[in-house]
Structures are given as C-alpha cells and as structure tokens.
C-alpha cells in the first residue's frame, strides 16, 4: 500500500478552532524559564531570562483604581507595556516567549505566530478579534514580521487597540521593531506606523550562536528515493511527497492551516528536493518548516541538500533571516530523522 501523502490532506479550521488553538505548540508545551540554559559566553541570554521573568510578573499584576478615580477621573490609562525579544535564530527566543505564557497565571492569554494572529483577524473580522483578545491579560506573538503594507496597517491598529485595553504583548523577531519591513516593501511609506508600533515595546536583545548546531555536524546527505520509501514503510503513518507537488499543494492552503496539515504525522519524507523557484514558494516553505519544527516532526529528503533549498539571491535579500532560520530548523529535523525509524541505532 502506498504511503500517505500530505497533498491528499485538505485541513479546514473553523474560527472557534483558531481561537482555541492559540497556545504554545507541542515542542514548547513543557518549557519554562528554569529549562532555558543560557550560554555562559553570551551574557545577554541570562539578562533576557531576567527581563522575561520580570515582564511575566508584571502581566500578573492587576492594575486597580480607587473608587474616587474610577468615578471621577477622566484620565486615560497608560497602554500596557510590551516586551520585544530581538536576536538571531536559534538563541531561544521562542523558548522564552512560551515561558512567559506559561508563567502568567491567568487563563485569559493567547499565544500564536504572527501569521496565525493575522489569519485570526481575517477569519473573525477586526472588531470581533479585538473584542475577544482585549479580554486577555497577555498576547504572545512569535516570529513577528511585517511582510507587506497591509500587515503593517493591520497589526499597528490591532496592537494599539489591545494595549490601550490593557493587554500586555510579548513578541519575538529577528528584526528590531523600527526595522520591520526593511528590504521587503516600501517601508519608508509606513515610517509613522512602524514607529508607533515600536514605541509600544521594550526591546531586549538575545545574542548568541544557533544552539541547534552548536558543535554538531552539518545536515545529513540527501537519501535516494528507495531509501525514502524504506524509511517511510518502517514508520507507520509517515508521509511521502514529491517536492514539486507539495509546493503546489501549499499554494492552495493558507499558511495558518499548515499546522493542521502535519498534525499527528510521525515523520515527513520529501522526494526530489530542489531550490525553490520563487519567493512565494520560498515563504510557504518557511511556514511549513516552522510548523514541522513546532511539532518536532523528523524530515528526510532525497534530491538536493537542504542547504540548497533557497537560492543565493534569496539569501541576500530582505527575507534572509527567515530563510536561514528555516534551513536551521529543517537541518535539526533531518538529524532527528537519522535517529528515528528505519536506521535507528538506539
């Protein structure tokens, strides 16, 4: 019997399911501040843990006004502060963000990637998204990026509304707030919006090398198609897809559905990997790689090496950091595939 394929899956996500899914993904379900191990050679990492812990405690403090102030004062309250964890990929920013979420005692909190939050707004409508999220104490946003002018305007409005309503926002990104959108679109036309957005955050820098590759070998060499089939057969429920067909299928799905696309898949196998043909396909592969990494799903490929997935031109462009993060995560998953399933050594 042929192995199942991702291209045969067409997941749908209802609006209520989108709201319920706003929690840290499986890989980060058990992380806490105490499980983050700072690199001793990078003092910003230990400092970032302290800042994140302080921020989580501030979220747990409910600001109260006295009766006189509530009745007679017309002063508009200050917006809730935000925390922005900035740094390269593989330094543990997502670990810290999820730790903040876990440390906040309130159940009224949400956690999602940037693309999941923007899709939630699209599914619910702006006013309804603000109504639901404004009742929360915390909104945690991972992989914060502004890839087009529409996102810039939407997110600026959303975060302004939410922080004015008292929602604390924590975010991670590879780009400083006032540099968001740089190299991707005409950011100069949106300087006011970007500056207004950055003013809502305290920036905490997290430096260091990519922990996923610290002292480890490069990605495994690509397998043959026959080896792919043998591995997939040895891992019941794992998928096998042709790379070109998979890319075409991803184009039919909103990236917010990629998580459900790979849900409960024990391993993903891809035949005929090659450099992506254009930026649109590249960004979809970034989103898929993130969702595979979130769920710790091993990945094995045939064809070209994972390091060839994005062209040199792409790696020099405005999305450079996204592509490097994607290669880093896929490489880690490819190593996982080498110690699971068909050729496991124990």
Q: What is the pLDDT of residues 114-172, one digit of tens each?
A: 888 888 898 889 999 999 999 999 999 998 876 556 676 788 889 889 999 999 999 98
Q: Which residues contact 202 (CB under 8 A, 6 or more apart)?
A: 51, 81, 82, 83, 84
Q: Which of 265, 251, 81 is nearest to 168 (CA)?
A: 81
Res 245: pLDDT = 98
The answer to whether 181 and 146 are in contact (CB under 8 A) is yes
What is the C-alpha separation between 267 and 205, in angstroms, rounded? 34
For the chain, what is the mean pLDDT?
84
> Which pairs with CB-CB distance under 8 Å and at least 24 residues apart come from 315-324?
317/183, 317/279, 318/182, 318/183, 318/184, 319/147, 319/183, 319/184, 319/279, 319/282, 319/283, 319/286, 321/88, 321/89, 321/174, 321/175, 322/145, 322/174, 322/283, 322/286, 323/282, 323/286, 324/89
Q: Which residues contact 223 (CB under 8 A, 6 or more apart)?
A: 231, 300, 301, 302
Res 237: pLDDT = 96
Res 95: pLDDT = 96
- pLDDT tens track for 209-228: 877 655 545 668 999 999 99
Res 317: pLDDT = 83
Higher pLDDT, 79 or 130: 130
- pLDDT tens track for 274-292: 999 999 999 999 999 999 9
Res 1: pLDDT = 77
Walk me through the domains of the chain, giving residue ranges and CATH numbers: 6-11+212-343 (3.40.50), 31-209 (3.40.50.300)
Neighbours of 54 (CB within 10 A): 10
* Structure-block tokens of residue 315: 């790696």
The answer to whether 312 and 320 are in contact (CB under 8 A) is no
Question: Among 181-195, 243-257, 321-335, which stretch is predicted with the lowest mean pLDDT?
Answer: 181-195
* Phi, psi angles (nearest 5°) of residue 308: -95, 5
Instruction: State percent of the chain over pLDDT 70.
Output: 81
Question: What are the beta bridge partners of residue 173?
Answer: 86
Considering the entire predicted model, what is its pTM? 0.80
Mean pLDDT over residues 173-183, rounded? 51
């Amino acid at each position: 019997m042929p192995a199942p394929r991702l291209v045969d899956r067409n997941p749908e996500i209802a609006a209520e399911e989108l709201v319920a899914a706003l929690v840290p993904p499986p890989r980060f379900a058990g992380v806490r501040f105490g499980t983050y191990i700072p690199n001793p050679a990078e003092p910003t990492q230990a400092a970032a843990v302290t800042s994140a812990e302080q921020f989580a405690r501030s979220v747990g403090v409910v600001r109260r006004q006295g009766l006189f102030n509530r009745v007679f004062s017309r002063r508009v309250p200050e917006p809730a502060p935000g925390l922005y964890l900035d740094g390269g990929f593989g330094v543990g920013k997502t670990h810290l963000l999820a730790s903040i979420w876990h440390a906040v005692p309130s159940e009224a909190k949400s956690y999602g990637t940037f693309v999941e939050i923007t899709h939630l707004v699209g599914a619910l409508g702006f006013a309804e998204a603000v109504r639901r999220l404004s009742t929360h104490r915390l909104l945690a946003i991972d992989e914060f990026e502004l890839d087009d002018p529409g996102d810039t305007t939407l997110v600026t409005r959303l975060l302004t509304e939410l922080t004015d309503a008292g929602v604390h926002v924590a975010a991670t990104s590879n780009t400083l707030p006032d540099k968001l959108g740089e190299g991707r679109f005409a950011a100069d036309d949106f300087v006011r919006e970007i500056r207004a957005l950055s003013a809502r955050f305290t920036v905490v820098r997290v430096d260091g090398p990519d922990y996923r590759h610290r002292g480890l070998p490069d990605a495994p060499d690509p397998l043959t198609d026959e080896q792919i089939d043998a591995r997939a057969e040895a891992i019941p429920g794992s998928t096998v897809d042709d790379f070109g067909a998979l890319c075409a299928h991803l184009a039919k799905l909103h990236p917010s559905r990629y998580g459900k696309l790979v849900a409960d898949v024990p391993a993903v196998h891809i035949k005929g990997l090659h450099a992506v043909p254009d930026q649109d396909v590249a960004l979809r592969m970034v989103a898929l790689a993130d969702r595979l990494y979130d769920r710790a799903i091993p990945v094995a490929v045939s064809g070209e090496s994972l390091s060839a997935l994005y062209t040199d031109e792409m790696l020099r462009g405005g999305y450079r950091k996204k592509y490097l993060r994607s290669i880093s995560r896929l490489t880690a998953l490819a190593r996982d595939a080498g110690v699971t399933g068909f050729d496991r050594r124990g």
